Structure 1
Amino acid sequence: MTSMASRLGRAPLLMLVLLLAACSGAPAGSQAASPRPGSGSLPTAEQLRSTVESALAGSGVPGGAVVVTDDDGGSTTAVFGEAAPGAPIATGTRFAYRSITKSFVGTVILQLADEKRLALDDPVSEYLSGVPNGDRITLADLGDMRSGLANYSAQPELGAMLGRDPAREPKTSELLDLAYAVHPRPPGTKYEYSNTNTLLLGEVIRRVTGDDWTTAVEQRIIRPLRLSSVRDGFAPDAENASGFQLAGGKVGEQLPVVAPGWFGAAGGLTGTAGDLATWGRALGSGSLISADAQRWRLEQFGSTADDPASPLYDAYGFAMGRLSGWRGHTGTGLGFQCLVMYDPDSGRVVSILLNGTGENPDLPVTVFQAVRKR
């Protein structure tokens, strides 16, 4: 196989967008970690590696990590390919979580609702000024992707802003202004996946708690669950994977570092596949929120048919999606694709992290569907 280094080029900055679609490819060298004892229903390391490689065949994804856990504490891990030229993926390699970040932020909002510090039917104007239709858009509308606000990361102006200096930390207000310049749809009607919604939820957290969303997530989720690898953003190094653009089933350009502020509360978190699996269990089971809040969250699931550009879900609710009866979230953008899903029937969790994006933004779903059938 031709080395990755010989295929790399410098990504044209003007082509950067926050939601680059993803395509995939045959993994380079593969290895698997031994499973920890559990219920006995987990795939073996060899089975998991084989399933993942088959699902990724011909895709071009340079590397990734997949973890499957059960509710008895068992787990199986497969890591494969390269984090960067000449650097193999390891179990401790950190990837970008992209839109899975939304599920962390939404959970903090539900915790604040449990504490009576906000109400989910409050209008966003009660916390933030200047939001179009802010007196009619509720916090529930934001989490359910039914606010009617345009997606800031889909606006053409964003590419020019990124091209000037992708390493600069933008103000959240700069990104929100891109969305506010587009005439909004009536709130509470159609589903439309928009990163603007979660940026606003992050701002609500700041207004209610006095802390930014990253601090709230750290205090309320990362520390209690001991997710030691999870933090806001990273620069590629020996511990962190680089993101790659794919084309025609081959590895193309290594993408430049982008400051986490361009994603913000909509996609700024990073971490390992193991910590992502731990989070997926807490998210899907509702262990960090009250039973009433979890019940309400599950009642929010609705059709995604209104938005043909939506990530692939059977249904979407309050910062959480549903696939084949499993609950969790996916993420895609600028060289990284990911998924974490929890099965309420079996208690199993599947966590998937990949470091390539191209034409297919839903490749982790393909891997998930193959893994869950093992």
Structure 2
Amino acid sequence: MVRAFPVVMPSGQKYWTVLDDDLEVVPVADEWLRNLRFGRDRAELTTKAYASCVALYLRWCRSTRREWTTGGRDLGLFMVWLKYTPAPRDGMESVVQPGPGAAPVRGERRINRVLVAVRGLLSYAVSVREAPRAVLGQIYELADSRDLPAEAQGEDGGLFYRLRPVHSLREPETQMDRADDAELVAMFVACRSARDRLIVLLVGRVGLRRGQVAGLRRSDVHLLPDSRALGCDYPGAHVHVQRRENRNGAWSKSRHVWVAPLDFVVVSAFDLYYEERYRLLGAGGCDFLLVNLFRAPLGEPVSPEAIGELLERLSDRAGLGRRVGAHRARRAFASNVADAGGTPDEVQAVLGQKSLDSQAPYLFPDPKRVRAAIDRVPSPRGLRGPEGER
């Protein structure tokens, strides 16, 4: 069975590849995934997701007796297969091949994500002459900018051409939202350790992504009002967020190093966590900030996946009725900064973003503030005419 598989390089760096039925690496897929990881500086988890998608495509090609290098012409059939064919269980392929009329097993969003990976693999195969150039015409069509949203057409309004995927599904619109302050408080109260409370604050009151939280080292944390003795001129308590190769798979999405300021609530949570960590581990443990305290291997760094699982458990334990993950908490943080009077450049700085345009998806104004803005607009009855008449 074709499958995704993790690879550890001699340097300790990791990426994911694809193995065929004989447990041999699929050469072109492996080259493409290594190029994504090390040539284009993508996260290990990105290669894991792409490798899993490519494995589905190669599995379909094998089951339908197609050459994967030319299967792009039949991606429409592959989409039907994706929609109705369940994943194999216990390493065995499904005997039943359900079709239309059966309950879908993958939604539009998942199918589109798989197609993104397949197009990437096929495009790379064409570039290294492992697939015919005609494949590009089967998976892309030439389109112009007139069908793009206005914000994506550029300020000059000029016409330009682009490659548009031939195969894609219209995804249902999902309402992006933020975590409510009450939800984050309930999750905080539901925590059973100082470490878990610190994690909730780092995502909800500092706005860090879970990969950034898991990748923090103790040396990144500066809690003193004056850190010049540490060679740092940034005022007040803060953490330095930077991209590294981490053995727990943590990865900062931001390529540049940035500083996240901390308030007194978060600083207090750090103090309580350090006390708990020393009580349970003594001076042991690694340099990672957040480590295993209650299960083996003790002292080893917490993974991003473990943080995601913790937030899911806390959502259930707090009775929220939905999962409040790190991204919803990050949007809550950004919105709270804006609602408190933070300017766009301040929101940009605390989110660690390089562009002002990048903060838009994170801002969800408080409905009370929006209501107040509308109420401040004067009524036409209160306006005077040009001659002073009402």
Q: Which has the higher helix share?
A: 2
* Rg larger in structure: 2
TM-score, structure 2 as length reference: 0.30
**Which is strand-richer, 1 or 2?**
1
